Amino acid sequence: MEKKMKVGKIPEAVLKRSVMKQITGIRKEVLLGAGIGEDCGVLKLEEGEVFVVSTDPITGTAHEIGRLAVHVTANDLASSGAEPIGILLTILLPDGTGEEVLKQLMKDVNIVCEQLHMQIVGGHTEVTSVVSQPLVSVTGIGKIKEGKLVTTGGARPGMDIVVTKWIGLEGTAIIAREKEKELAGRLPLEYIRTAQEFLQYLSVLPEARIAVEHGVYAMHDVTEGGIFGALWEMAQASGTGLSIDLRSIPVRQETIEICECFQINPYQLISSGCMLMAAYYGHDLVKKLHQAGIEAVVIGKATEGNDRVLCNGEEHRFLEPPKTDELYKII
């Protein structure tokens, strides 16, 4: 029978076998990384490079939180054009959690870090009665050459608005995993399994690199609030309007079907894995992305003024400020 961990700091023996042994990735920028008793990590950059940092918790699900936590933070760094270097990791576990849960979580985190060539620089792990399910919070550290930073607010009137892959990927995968039994009575099992595997599309690092080479002016990872929220945030940060063709926004049929089952809006569903971009010659950027095997499409343009318009054939309506993500209505 698996031994449950007690409230408080994780014992050193547990840290060594279930945390430290799972960490394998190494970056040359990290002079001092994660270690027993170490309070800080130490990093060094080359001349002309600057740090980019981002932080996010995972609270909407208890499934695959290790993978999600790293991808979400790495994507934030990528949206600035930065190269992710490493993460600081905070793990809070409920009282009575088995050690195997911690070990598997660390394995999942490390797998993604190795895939993205990132190092776990440090962090904190404890068992606490404050949480009712495992909570993971990640602070990401990246680097970029001075003067090369890409922001959410870089869009200018006349630029094309580009979206990569499909909206709703993360939310669809979470719902398909959390609500599998409820969906099984309404959708084919194959459909549900396909949706659960949308997590494989979560990284936006490949498209971010191509976009930076193209000369993109703005990027924004589409997370909470969905594509509608991300469009509003990019326009608000840039001080522009928008003219968006709703029918051009890419969405998988699995997402549509699952959202219909729970009567939620796929356009306001958390969408990590989908990158929003603003660039001149957007169709050329889309072509480059296609050549790399990445789905992408131009969905509209940035415009003068403040009107943010969604066009659906002859119907036109105004985009509204971001609302609470649709995921929280059912999870």
pLDDT in tens, 279-294: 999 999 999 999 999 9
Question: pLDDT over 70 for what percent of the chain?
Answer: 99
- Per-residue pLDDT, 60: 75
Name the strand (E) or helix (H) holding 255: helix 253-262
Whether 152-329 and 8-145 are alike in CATH topology: the answer is no
Domain boundaries, the chain: 8-145, 152-329
152-329: CATH homologous superfamily? PurM-like C-terminal domain (3.90.650.10)
d(CA 214, CA 284): 9
Q: Which residues of 121-142 are buried (b: 16+ CB within 10 A; e: fewer)?
A: bbbebebeeeeeebbbbbbbbb
Specify the CATH class of 8-145 in words.
alpha beta
* Average pLDDT across the chain, whole number: 94
d(CA 189, CA 145): 47
Would you say the C-alpha torsion 12, 17, 18, 22 has a positive or negative sign?
positive
d(CA 201, CA 166): 9
